[in-house]
Structure 1
Amino acid sequence: MMVPAVLLLLGALTAVAAPRLLGRADWTDREPVLALWAWQCMVASVLLCCALSMTLSAAAAWQGLRGHVFGTAPRAVVEAYAFGTTGPWAATTAVALACGGLWSAAMLVREVVRARARRRLRRVELLVRAPRLPGEEPGGERLVVLESERPDAWWLRGAPPRLVVTTAALRRLKGRQLDAVLAHEQGHAQARHDWLLHCSAALADGFPRVPVFAAFRDEMHRLVELSADDMASRRFGRLTTALALVELNEDRGVFGPCPTPQAHVPQRVHRLLTPPDRLTAARRLRLTAAASLVPVIPVLVALVPGLRALG
């Protein structure tokens, strides 16, 4: 039975080719939402290859599990997979891939627990620095203003969510720039970008030697910011959003010659001031369809013997 091996080979090829193909694409910065979807489809395809290979390998190694997987399948379909010709590698492959799946789940749980701990600590600090006023509803959504010399604004998830802005940001942001910053943060919350960051970080930390997962994490951090920039600029204009980014970050050295952790900010400002032309609707539709079909390929590969037997 060669299907599990073919699936593993397909997953490896996708893991190698995906970062190169998407890294060379000229449309990712122009359509960050579409690029986010394409990256998710590529990674989902790799994970599906591993999951399907594990399932078929386990079915080949253990008769009892095979009955659960192919319990309602015709006898011809089961025979088409030629489980009797498998060697001792089937059990080893199934166990190795199962361990990889459990490790991925553990890394995701760890990432979520750490994020919640950080958020809980920030909420405690926020309550100390900005205590609830008498008569204020404890469950109501509110904008919190913090006394600080550093211009900053962020969205703090939780129950209830909080929009936090510092007094320095209020002094520096003029006109509708503050509205653009808040719209940017709300865009992150509405699109649930935090879950994309959690999943990408869990995969990259759990499998640091797999290039597609490291590239996935890096691109998620970049593309979610571009996506949120576009959400804000559609409501308040590209110039207003770009000026707000400059006001919030010019004292952090991000516009100087030395690289900083926020080195992507100048590129974001340049993109807002010189917006690239969007793709046509037809091309966006084609790219969306092509990306959506990528995770379908492993499923078709896994079903080929059964479909041949039925056909």
Structure 2
Amino acid sequence: MHLIVLLTIFAVAWGLRYTWAGTDRVSWIDRWQRTLAIFLLPPLLLFTSAIAIIWMGPHGRMVWVGNDWLSYCVGIGFLGFAALSWLKLAGSGWQMLSQIRTYPTTELNGKSVRILDLPTPYSAQIGFWEPELVVTQGLLDTLSTAHLEAVLAHEQAHYRYRDTWCFFWLGWLHQMTTWLPQTEAIWQELLMLRELRADRWASIQTDPLLVAEALLSIVQNTPIFPDNICAAFSQTAPADRLTQRIEALLDRIEINGNNQIEPSQNLAAWAWLLVAVLPLLAVPFHS
């Protein structure tokens, strides 16, 4: 019976990812909510299924069907692989953060910044809950004071929303579910929405045109650090991301005077997470 439950959850997880068709024609908040739901539900269902199967054990019966060792071993193997993947990701992230903290610091706009001696214009928040702001010497040499303020405002938005912390965990789930359909496309959509949110916040703090001009100046440069512990102003991505970011900033100029980010999400917006606990409801039927 456990194997039937596991195969059912696998089919649901596959189907959720397979049917995703993008969300570019809805508002930012709906786009974020839908993309995050379709990204999180499959791995959460797999995790709760594995936990439920291990909890019930390989012996006994569920409803009228006996249980088996195969599904029990699969559950242990999945959680073990997840734990090892997390340790590897956390270890590499901590190692990178330790290296970042050896770079010299300076003060920019009242903020402590790590300076990376590279000619490529680049800036990023790197780390976990309390990331380090890193900029290259090339960025300082390339941008004017006003454009540099716009870039720093963008990076401050990443800090405000704890993007490095959130995307560390999302990046872990991304690695765990690369075998599901459209995982990479959904991951890129989340990265895109993260940058749109930071651009929007920066455009309120400074000027949308300044953010757009800075984007055109440096966004095509090659990224230096991985996405899962890094939120960078100038990350490259699919070709249409720059276009979407510029268009969103131009829309900000056209609706000058609207200084709201997006309505905050209430608890009801996260009700879909309750679906992830459904596999645990099978535990009382085990004997």
User: TM-score, normalised to structure 2's length?
Assistant: 0.70
Give SS of 2:125's match. Answer: strand
What's the CA shift for 1:241? 1.0
- The aligned counterpart of 1:272 is 249
**Is 1:189 the equivalent of 2:159?**
yes
What's the CA shift for 1:299? 3.0
1:34-71 deviation line (CA, Å, top 9, x unaligned): 544444433443234223433443416336xxxxxxxx
Q: Judging changes above 3 Å, is the alpha-carbon distance between structure 1 residues 164 and 170 closer, same or farther for their aligned structure 2 residues?
A: same
1:133-171 deviation line (CA, Å, top 9, x unaligned): xxx9xxx96234566543222234479854333444334
| Partners of 2:131 and 2:164 within 8 A in 1 | no
AA partner of residue 12 (structure 1): A
Give SS of 2:124's match. Answer: strand
Which structure 1 segments of 5+ residues have no match?
A: 64-81, 253-259
Give SS of 1:211's match. Answer: coil
Match of 1:103 among 57, 61, 81: 81
For 1:213 and 1:20, locate their aligned partners in 2 and report how far apart those are by CA, in whole Å: 12
User: TM-score, normalised to structure 1's length?
Assistant: 0.66
What's the CA shift for 1:100? 0.9
What's the CA shift for 1:208? 3.0
For 1:243 and 1:216, locate their aligned partners in 2 and report how far apart those are by CA, in whole Å: 27
What's the CA shift for 1:109? 1.7
Kindly name which structure, 1 or 2, has the bigger radius of gyration based on alpha carbons. Answer: 1
**Which is strand-richer, 1 or 2?**
2
| Correspondence 1:157-306 to 2 at 5 A | 157=127, 162-174=132-144, 176-211=146-181, 213-249=183-219, 263=239, 264-275=241-252, 292-300=270-278, 302-303=280-281
How many residues of Structure 1 are paired with residues of Structure 2 in the alignment?
262
When structure 1 is superposed on structure 2, of 188-197 and 150-159 the one drifting more is 150-159
- The aligned counterpart of 1:41 is 37
RMSD: 4.1
For 2:209 and 2:75, locate their aligned partners in 1 and report how far apart those are by CA, in whole Å: 49
What's the CA shift for 1:305? 9.3
Identical pairs, percent: 23
**Is 1:61 the equivalent of 2:31?**
no
| Partners of 1:7 and 1:301 within 8 A in 2 | no
- The aligned counterpart of 2:8 is 9
Q: Judging changes above 3 Å, is the alpha-carbon distance between structure 1 residues 11 and 60 closer, same or farther for their aligned structure 2 residues?
A: same
| Partners of 1:42 and 1:291 within 8 A in 2 | no
Which structure 2 segments of 5+ residues have no match?
A: 223-235
